[in-house]
Amino acid sequence: MPSPPSLLLSSLPSGAELIGSQPLALALGWVLLLSGGCESTLNPPPARNVNLYQKWTLQPGDQLGSYRIQSGLGDVAVDLKGGKVFMPFDGEVQPAAGQEDLCVIISSPDVPAYLFRLCGLKQPRLGSLAQGSSLGSGGVVAFATLRRQADGTWAMVEPSEKLITQFLTAP
């Protein structure tokens, strides 16, 4: 069996020569842009299970014939027409257990007695997000506010107009 040809390190281009190559630099730029830059999506946060104080038969994500339920009693649905949703405060964004492909749960130490469920975002950003960060965008997005009860369950409460406005307003 013939031995492989030897590779002389001196024949390889230097890093500076490679970076100086416009096609390579352009290709690397596109790879970084399309892969989300330095943001890691390899380890999304675990799904959050929310034990509701009150439970209705139809929940977001349920099927009704060939139709998918997008929101339920207690949600306020807003037609964003593709617009963005923003974090009104620093917090953690997790997929909603059992509704991972439809809803996210937002928690924050700024408002520890409350959780916020948003359903209908397309490709939501998960993990720890800073106030003003984009959560994602969507067509019709349903907002729900949940308040912690003494027994540890969560009750749906009416989301305030001011809070929904904060989710919809860019910083």
CA distance 43 to 45: 6
Q: What is the mean pLDDT of each run of 10 residues along the chain (171 residues)?
A: 46 45 45 44 75 71 79 85 96 93 95 96 96 96 94 91 93 84
Q: Locate 23 and state its tokens.
A: 């096609």
Distance CA 91, CA 127 (A): 8
Q: How far apart are CA 14 and CA 129, in angstroms?
A: 39
Neighbour count for residue 166 (Cβ, 10 Å): 16
Tell me if the pTM is above 0.85: no
* pLDDT confidence of residue 124: 96
Q: Say what the pLDDT of residue 37 is.
A: 43
pLDDT at 51: 65
Q: Which of 122, 106, 126, 108 is nearest to 41 (CA)?
A: 126
Q: Regarding the domain delimited by 63-168, which CATH topology (the fold level of the hierarchy) does it fall under?
A: Glucose Permease (Domain IIA) (2.70.70)
Location of each CATH 2.70.70 domain in the chain: 63-168
